[in-house]
Amino acid sequence: MTITITDKITFNAKPEQLFEALTGSEKFGLVTGAPTEIDATAGGAFSLFGGMIQGRMIEVVPNERIVQAWRAGNWDAGVYSLVKFELHQDGEDTLLVFEHVGFPEGQAEHLKTGWQENYWTPLRKYLEQ
Domains and CATH numbers, the chain: 4-127 (3.30.530.20)
pTM beyond 0.85: yes
At residue 62, what are phi and psi to the nearest 5 degrees? -50, 130
Contact 39, 54 (CB under 8 A): no
Contact 96, 9 (CB under 8 A): yes
Distance, in Å, from the CA atom of 20 to the CA atom of 28, rounded to the nearest integer, reads 8
Burial 98-129 (b: 16+ CB within 10 A, else e): bebeebeeebeeebeebbeebbeebbbebbee
- CA 104 to chain centroid, in Å, comes to 18
pLDDT digits (tens, 9 = 90+) for 8-49: 999 999 999 999 999 999 999 999 999 999 999 999 999 999
pLDDT digits (tens, 9 = 90+) for 67-108: 999 999 999 999 999 999 999 999 999 999 999 999 999 999
Distance, in Å, from the CA atom of 21 to the CA atom of 38, rounded to the nearest integer, reads 11
5: closest CA among 111, 85, 94, 121? 111
- Amino acid 97: pLDDT: 99
